[in-house]
Amino acid sequence: MPQILEQWKVLPHGKLSEIDENLLTVTGQIEMPFMSLPRRMTVVRLNDSRLVIFNAIALDEDEMAALEDYGVPAYLIVPNDHHRLDAKVWKDRYPQVRVVAPEGSRDKVEEAVPVDAVAPTFADPSVEFVTVAGTRGHEAALVVRTPKGTTLVLNDIVGNIRDSSGFGGWLLRVVGFAGDHAQIPKPVKLTMVEDTDALRAQLLEWAGIESLTRILVSHGAPIEDNPRQTLRDLAASLA
């Protein structure tokens, strides 16, 4: 598990891009043993211009200015206890932000930053916080509805890295974070998933969202080609 940052440290990243109404995303890289791991932050703008930050990444000042122009950071979601790296520095930068973590990850997240909520409602019906079923309460997700469709924001429960290479890429493929199709990574199955039936039902529930247009994952490319079928395939992989 990466160390918790004590000071704002900008690691390699791209530019924030708006992929749907009130929805930004940016990808970066984090150095892990034997590999460079891609990671994604997602920003959702609520109906009153407050921002929900999912899986925070410390960005350079130009990109942080663009984020602040977009809205006011109000919620900081630490989606599981392996994603605490930037949580403290974000809270230091925005003291008013409410930190959110799923109940099962709360104790570990609080080693980095106090947690204010485990089941927020955001006062906006278009944005739903979900603790993913079957994960011992350790994994968070968002369902974001816009006039153009629905986006499902996931964290580690699905890996979809398509451009892995070298020894690190081989290792990511072996463990299921990378490959030719989206997968539930093996370490996630081993350490987080305790109830495969519940997780399967969760995936099928999301697959039933007729307006689903994309799935964003913290490690890998967006899933935009028939995301509902992808969820059904993932559910079947748990059988």
- pLDDT for the residue numbered 207: 98
| CB 215 within 8 Å of CB 151 | yes
pTM: 0.95
What is residue 2's predicted lDDT score, i.e. its pLDDT? Answer: 58
Share of the chain above pLDDT 70, in %: 99
What are the φ/ψ torsions at residue 130 (nearest 5 degrees)?
-130, 130
**Residue 115 is part of which domain span?**
17-236
Instruction: Examine residue 124 and state whether it is found in any structural domain, yes or no.
Output: yes
Per-residue pLDDT reduced to its tens digit, 96-141: 999 999 999 999 999 999 999 999 999 999 999 999 999 999 999 9
Average the pLDDT over 52-58 and give the result. Answer: 98
d(CA 78, CA 18): 21
Query: Residue 33, Cβ neighbours under 10 Å: how many?
Result: 7
Pairing state between β 72-77 and 50-54: parallel
Residue 225 within a domain: yes
- The verdict on residue 214 lying in a domain is yes
Q: What is the mean pLDDT of the chain?
A: 94
Which is more confident, 43 or 176? 43
In a domain, 9, yes or no: no
The strand ranges marked E within 55-164 are 72-77, 98-100, 127-131, 140-146, 149-153
Give the number of domains in the chain.
Answer: 1
Per-residue burial over 47-65, b if 16 or more Cβ lie within 10 Å, else e, is eeebbbbbbbbbbeeebbe
Asked whether residue 39 is domain-assigned, the answer is yes
At residue 83, does pLDDT exceed 70?
yes
pLDDT digits (tens, 9 = 90+) for 89-104: 999 999 999 999 999 9
Position 166 scores a pLDDT of 84
Q: Quick one: DSSP state of residue 31?
A: E
Q: Once rounded to an integer, what is the mean pLDDT over residues 216-220? A: 96
Is position 122 within any domain?
yes
Whether 98 maps to a domain, the answer reads: yes
Q: Give the confidence band of 185 by pLDDT, cuts at 50, 70, 90.
A: very high
- Give domain status of residue 5, yes or no: no
Residue 168 reports pLDDT greater than 80: no
Interatomic CA distance for residues 237 and 239, integer angstroms: 6
What pLDDT is stored for residue 173 in this prediction?
81
How many CA atoms lie less than 13 Å away from 111 in the CB half-sphere?
14
178: pLDDT confidence band, cut at 50, 70 and 90? confident
**CA distances from residue 53 to 73, 173, 220, 229 in whole angstroms, order as listed:** 7, 28, 18, 27
For the domain that residue 75 is a member of, what is the CATH number?
3.60.15.10
- pLDDT of residue 35 exceeding 80, the answer is no
